[in-house]
Each structure stands twice: as structure tokens, then as C-alpha cells.
Structure 1
Amino acid sequence: MPERSNIWANMDWVTVGLYLVLIFMGWLNIYAAVFNVEHQSILDTSQQYGKQLIWIGAAIALAVVIMIIETNFYVFFSYIFYGVTIILLMLVLLVGKEINGAKSWFAIGGVLIQPAEFAKFATGLALARYMSTFDFNMKKLKSVATIGLIIFLPAAFILLQNDTGSALVYFSFVLVLFREGMSGLVLFLGTLVAMLFILALILPNITLILVLVGLALLMYLILNPKLNQFARAALMLAGGVALFFLLNLIVGAGRDLSEIILAGTVLGAFLIMIYSFQKRFTNYIIISLFFIGSVLFTITVDYAFNNVLEPHQQVRINELLGIESNPYGAGYHVNQSKIAIGSGGFWGKGYLNGTQTKYDFVPEQSTDFIFCTVGEEWGFAGTFTVIALFLFLFFRLIFLAERQRSVFSRIYGYAVAVILFFHFAVNIGMTIGIMPVIGIPLPFFSYGGSSLWSFTILLFIFIRLDASRLDNFRDSRNA
């Protein structure tokens, strides 16, 4: 048996140091956010800051246990961890405790456990295990479909718990796929879909359809500059609209102009596709399919927004996009958050001197909006320091992932980086009003045992894998 390396000597102490600094800063800010003059001791376990210290102690103990366990354990039990968390996600729907409208918690004695948090590291392990197998190929439909199932199955169960924020986190795993060979076209199309989603909410239907028609005609002209071909395409679109307009008059259906244009342009696009199939104009076929898909997507967005999303979710999106503004209603959280951060100035008001947080103007100030305390009491200097520490951690994780000799370890390392980055970007983004309020914690800062433990497990499994990167352990690719 080959000699095993010393894991404590090979541990990346830079990453461990960043972890310890962040959880310590988080603990101090939780104390400041919910400071109680009647319970001034930071060790008072009847208060959140005292309980958080217990969670921190348990998290460090978990980290030590993770480091002691052999790396092959995480490879071998990847699918088992994943299966157990899926079962827990289903079980919480039946016997879980509902908090703030989300049935996502197991109440065990006086402790609340959220399985959605622990499913993140399990999903990362399962994804790394599958993508590091010998027969995996990003170009195979079977491989892509299996990846999609691994990522979106836990997200689906979390959506059923009415916890949209936690479910969205799982979509960040898609970013891992680009490092492993997924075409950048997918990211490009995803960006287009996001832009179309926003436009579908901001613009009236008729305006958006006319914009899409204009873009389609422009693309027809650019990709095939022959004017006679372009004229045929334009006439087919216009002809489809004219046909539905006449039918509406004859039948007396009373449809509005936007519905007539929508149906007519879709019919025109189908006619262009049929004509292009005959003439073998591949570019026109692709543009027509894109146009039809875009129109159908806008209809789906409109229906989902008005019939699927909860009223408070609709209002939050409208607030974010500037469609409506109510600083004393749905916009209250973000408005108070921005006031708190802005009032800190450059150096802040000083530790324990924040007024927005002390007088409970900022809701959820120790959890989702913990960054407000940093901004108010530590100012720009404090927020810059916290953001810099997180960015240093992310770049460090990417560096560690790239130096792995194991495909499994590299993929899991990127999964850790994207999960932490998504939480960081969205949490800070929603406190300053550039992201919707979806209720996800800031890693290592927000109060709560489930989130702290899950982030600790997520991170230290990778630190353990990295510590043994030079060992000749049996990689899952050769299993």
C-alpha cells in the first residue's frame, strides 16, 4: 500500500483561515444585529449570538471529522448521500414544519434542520461522481439528461416546499458544466432567455411582439442579404397578420390587436419555415424557430407570472424591475436595507452603534439581511473588506480546483465555488436592491445552524480532497 500523505500538513490553510475569519466576523455581526442590553454577554445561549457560537463549535468539530475520513469515502458514498437527501426532501413535505410559508424544516426538539441546505453538498458529490465516470460524454444526450436529473430533482422537491430561493441555488450547478466542455452557446441562449423574461414583464405584449418581429427581419436580412428572399419573408409575416385580421372581422371574434399580430406572425414564421425547407435555407429555419420559441416563451412568462407565482413574489419582481414602487409595503425590506447600508458612510457608525438594526427597522437582520449590519456599523471600508474576503475565497477555490489530479475532485471543487458564489452574489444583491428578495443566507455570516453546517460540510469535503490530491487513491473514473 502506498504511503499516505499527512493531511494536516497538506491542508490548504489559506482557505481554512478565510473560513475561520468569515465565521468569526459573522458571529460578531449577529451579536450586533440582535444586541440585547438585558443579555449583553456574547456567550448567552438564550440569544441568537450565543446559539450561533454553539453552531460554530459544532461546525468546527464537523470539519475535523471530515478531514479525518478517507477521501474514497466521499467518492464511494456520493450517490448514497444524494439518495438520502432526496428522501429527506420528500419526507419534509409530509412531516415538516412550516415557517414563513415554506414547509422546509424538521423540528427536532428545539432545533430546526433544513434538508434543502444539506442537499447542496450531496448534489455536488453526485454530479462529480457521475461526470467523472469513464463513459460520461457531454455530447451524449443520455449524459446531459442524467446531469439535468441530478441537478433539477432536488430543486423540484424544494419548489414543492414553497422555498423558491433555495431551489434557484441548484441552477448554479449549470456553471460547473462549462468547465467540463459544455458549449458556450448554452450560456448565450440562457442569457437571451433571461433578457426575454425581463422584457416580457416590462413591455406590453404588442410592443414586445413588434420588437421580436423587427429582430427576426433584421436577422433574415443580415444572414441572407438577397433582397428578394428578404421580401418574401417579410410578405409572409405580413400576410399571416392580414389573414388573421380579416378572419377576426369576418367571424367577429373581437380579438385585440396584440393577439392578431401574435397569431399572424407565428403563422407567417411557419410559412417561412416551410418555404425554407424547400429551398434549404437553414438560416431562415433557425431564425423562424427562434422567433416562434420566443413568442411562445413570452406567453408562458405572462401566464406563469400571473397564475403560478405567489402575490408577494409578483410584487417583489415588479419592485425590482421598477414596474411599481411601495417603500412601505413589499419594498420595505429593501428600502430599509439600503438606508442602513448608505447611512454607514465610509467608516461606519461604529460597532454596536447602528440605529437601523438596533431599532428593528431592517427585517430579518440577523439572517437574510445580515449584510446591512456590516454596511451600517462598518461602512464602506467594512463592506469592501467582507466582499474582498469572499472574492479571495472564490478565486482560491478555483485555483485549488484547477490543481486537482482527480476529475472527481476538480468537478466538486467548482461545484463548491459556484454554490458559495451564488449565495454571496444574490444575498448581497438583494440587500442593495439589484436582486429580488428570495431569502437565501450569506455563507458563514447569516444566523442558523443548518446553513452554517451545510456550508462547512460543502467546503471541507473539498479541502479534504485537495489535501490528498497527491495520493494514489482510486479515482472514480477508474472504478
Structure 2
Amino acid sequence: MRQERNNIFLGVDWLLVILYVVLVGFGWMNIYAASISNESLPLINLSTKYGKQLLFICLSIPLIIFALFFNSKFYERFASILYLISLVFLIGLFFFGKKINGATSWYDFGGIGLQPSEFVKAFTALAVAKLLSDRNYNFKLVKNQIKAFLIILFPAFLIALQPDMGSVLIYMAFFFVFNREGLTVYYILLGFITVVLFICVIYFGKFWVLGVSYGLISAYFIYVIYRNPQFLRFNWQKIIGVFLIVGLFIFSANYAYNHVLSVHQKDRFDILLGLKTDNKGIGYNSHQSELTISSGGFFGKGFLQGDRTQGHFVPEQHTDYIFSTVGEEWGFLGSSLVIILFIVMLLRIIYLSETHTNKFGRIYGYGVASILFFHILVNIGMVIGLFPTVGVPLPFFSYGGSSLWGFTILLFIFIRLDAHKKYDL
């Protein structure tokens, strides 16, 4: 029994490991295609993007072993401490961080950059799992809901100050976790309505949205009062409150769009909504990405045969726009296969989470699935022009050591917790 417990690979879900290896390997192939030059260079060459990524992949192996080395009780016991340490690293950026592309999101260690926000997601998921798995925790109580919200608010706030709004968006994924653990779906619905109202304010203007919103709300309350005349008598304060909150939000959204968002952020929304066309300026990346994907057709042009990829038409194609390489060289068929692999991984994580004997492991598993889902959704939506351009990498595909290592730790902590079900009891 002692030998079994000393074997860190015992109980590991090999399907998730295989999916990880396939996605990382295929991701590297696309980074190679997007960054290769006409000059003949060896694969292991740290002056190239693909050479550095290969080094990052090799360094992921000791990270995997490290994540599997600790048993599940360690992660459960020290979840809060790991979370607090990660917040300290985020705060440290404002004193020791390096500004790149207008954001102070990196530590520079002798030319090697490290982005703490990529790792904080895993430790936030652990902290959320720790809180929600407490025996005395009741999610129906408002004070307990506030505690859960604060856990995701602290890192999101610190990341927003860098500023890195793309990474902030990912923390919305935790509302799926909260919903699974008993939080009413109305919170998610409220978030969806908020986004729709914000977009409508940008597209149609505040007064048009205000009029339509008040009309729909009035029609709803008239119907409710018609069905139950006593509703008005006991709920008139709530009715007035709804009108005030909706009106306040619409005017606040209009103010935020015109006075809080930076010019390039406003331009991205305008281009996305068709209010402005700028294929040579702020919209250049998205436009070139869409052209590159569409040029691949159904079967693609073949590995290293993408003329737009080889011509480097898409800036930074090896990072956030890596999926455009997949679209051109592997076509609709290859792109669909990548998405299917991601879906299989997500479904596998959810399935294993639901079979967990430990509530902590189940909640963390849903955190992993939600974070990966948001990254995949936002990144691919951005690359094909459905979402505005934000700095959200595609898991296991996009170039970067911090991104790859962050997702590796996130996934393999779950794999370790899953192995707990049989061998760490």
C-alpha cells in the first residue's frame, strides 16, 4: 500500500494526459508554422519562437511531476495559503513588474518573462473549492455569496489595474462553478442581460435603449399585476427600484463607454459592431485573421503550405491568433478536430468531477472546466471576429511559457485530485 501511494502516476486519468499531449504537440506544430523563417535553423534554437516554446514544453514535465507529487490533502489544506501567495505576486508587479505593450503584467528574470496572472487562476480555483466545500458553508446565505464573490474579485481587481482586461474576463467563468454549487441561475442571467444592454447602448444609443427597456419592463409588470392585483400593493418599492437600477445602469454604461474606456478599446467595440471600418488600423489583426482562416477552405492548404501564414500577414499569429494558423493550414476539418478535442477534454473533466467522492475535488474540477471553456470561447471567438480583440490565449496552443505552465498546473492539479478517489483515501 505504501508503494502504491509513493507512485505519483497511480490513478492518473490517462485520457486527459493524452489529450494534453496531443493539444500541446499540435499547438507547437502551429507555432512552428507561424514563426518559421526562410532561414534554415535547427528546432532547438532559442532565438526562434518555436525553439523557445519547445523549451517551455520540456520544462512543463518537471511542473507536471511537481503537481502530481503532492497528494490531494495538501492542495485542500493549503489552498488558502497558495491563493494569498498568488495575490502577493500580483501586488508585487506594481513595484517590480515590467511594462510590456502598456500593461505591467510581467516579471523579468534576466530576459525570461513570467506572467503571474496565468498561475493565479489555478490558485483562485483552489480557494473557491476550499470555501465552498466547507461543511458549514451555505451558499443560500447572502453573506456567504459575498465571500465567494470576493475571492474572485481580489485577483480580478489587481489584474484590471495592470491593466489586462482580457484576463479579468476569465474570472466570470467562476459563476458557472457557483451555479453548480447552488447559486441561482438568475446571477448568470443578470450578467447576460448586462452585457446585452451594454452592447445595445453602444449600438443604438442610451435613450433608445432606455425607452425599449422601460417599455418591456412596464409590459411585464402590467401582466403580473393583471394576474395578481395584490402584487402592486406589496411590491411597489421593488418595481420603482427596478426602473431606477435599469436607468442608472444604462446611463452608467454610456458614460463608461465614452469616458472610461480607452480609445483603442472603443474602436474595437465599434469595429465589432460594424459602427466603424478600419481594416488597416485597429481592426487589421482581426481582418487578416478572418481572411487567413477563410483561405484554408475545408481541407486546408497543408502543413507549412499556408501562404498567408508564411507571409506573416497576421501580426502576433503565434500567440493569441494561433487558431488562424490552424484554419489556414488544416482547414475547417482540422479546426473542427481541435474544437472536438477541447470539448472531449471539458466533458471528461466534468464527468470526473461529478464522480468525485470529495466535494473539494468536484468544485475544483468545475473551476478547471469553466476556465478552459472561457479561454477557448473568447480566443476562438476573437480570432473569427465574433468578439473584440482581447489578450486571451488559446489553452495549450498559444505561444508563451507562462500560459502553457499556468494551464499545465491548472489541469494536473485536477488530475492529482482525481487520482485521490482511489489511492489517497
Measured against the shorter chain, the TM-score band is over 0.9
Aligned-CA RMSD value: 1.8
> Partner residue of 2:38?
37
**Equivalent residue, structure 1, for 2:362:** 410
In structure 2, relative to structure 1, the CA distance for the partners of 1:58 and 1:3 (3 Å cut) is closer
SS state of the match for residue 443, structure 1?
coil
Kept in 2: contact 1:367–1:446 (CA 8 A): yes
Secondary structure at the aligned position of 1:8 is classed as: coil
Q: Which runs of 5+ in 1 are unaligned?
A: 230-275, 474-479
Q: Post-superposition shift, 1:204?
A: 2.3
Q: Which residue of 2 aligns with 1:216?
A: 217
Contact 1:216/1:288 (CA < 8 Å) preserved in 2? no
The match for 2:175 is: 174
Greater shift after overlay, 299-308 or 427-436? 299-308
Larger Rg: 1
Cα drift, residue 141 of structure 1:
2.1
Structure 1 residues 266-298: Cα deviation after superposition (integer angstroms, max 9, x where no partner): xxxxxxxxxx99x6242x443332221111001
**Which structure 2 segments of 5+ residues have no match?**
none
Deviation beyond 4 Å, 4+ runs, structure 1 = 1-7
Aligned residues of 2:82 and 2:123 also touching (Cα < 8 A): yes
The residue number in structure 1 matching 2:56 is 55
Aligned with residue 350 of structure 1, among 302, 321, 341: 302
User: 3-state DSSP class of the match of 1:426?
Assistant: helix
Corresponding residue of 2:233: 280
For residues 291-338 of structure 1, give each alpha carbon's deviation from its aligned partner in whole angstroms, at most 9, with x where no partner exists: 211110011111111111111011101111222221111111110000
Partner of 2:318: 366
The residue identity in structure 2 corresponding to 1:299 is F
Q: How far apart are the structure 2 equivalents of 1:178 and 1:226?
A: 30
Q: Secondary structure at the match of 1:280?
A: helix
Residue 312 (str. 1) matches residue 264 (str. 2):
yes
The 1-side partners of 2:306 and 2:282 are apart by: 23
- Whichever residue aligns with residue 140 of structure 1, its letter is L
> What residue identity is the alignment partner of 1:418?
S
Letter in 1 for 2:286: V
My pick for the range that moved more, 298-307 or 15-24, is 298-307
Distance between the aligned counterparts of 2:198 and 2:340, measured in 1? 32
Counterpart for residue 135 of structure 2: 134
Q: After alignment, is 38-47 or 418-427 more displaced? A: 38-47
Q: Within 2, Cα distance between the matches of 1:194 and 1:303?
A: 15
Q: Does 1:123 align with 2:124?
A: yes
Q: Which residue of the partner structure matches residue 162 of structure 1? A: 163
Query: Counterpart of 2:206?
Result: 205
Q: Residue 352 of structure 2 is aligned with which of 389, 400, 403?
A: 400
Work out the number of aligned pairs and report it.
Answer: 424
Query: For 1:388, what is the secondary structure of its paired residue?
Result: helix
* 41-50 or 285-294, which deviates more: 285-294
Match of 1:235 in 2: none
Mapped to 1, the partners of 2:340 and 2:396 lie a distance apart of 15
Aligned-partner SS, 1:98? strand
Question: Which amino acid letter does the alignment assign opposite residue 343 of structure 2?
Answer: L
1:130 counterpart letter in structure 2? L
Letter in 1 for 2:121: K
How many angstroms apart in 2 are the aligned matches of 1:304 and 1:39?
A: 50
Is 2:353–2:365's contact at 8 Å kept on the other side of the alignment? yes
Cα offsets for 1:363-402 (capped at 9, x unmatched): 1100000001000111111101111100111111100111
Distance in 1 (alpha carbons) for counterparts of 2:274 and 2:71: 52
Work out the CA distance in 2 between the residues paired with 1:359 and 1:373.
Answer: 12
Query: Is this contact kept in 2: 1:401–1:410, CA < 8 A?
Result: yes
Opposite residue 399 of structure 2, the aligned amino acid is Y
**Map of 1:311-460 to 2, 5 A cutoff?**
311-460=263-412
For residues 216 and 379 of structure 1, the distance between their equivalents in structure 2, rounded to whole angstroms, comes to 46
**Amino acid corresponding to residue 364 of structure 1 in structure 2:** E
The one-letter amino acid paired with 1:78 is: A
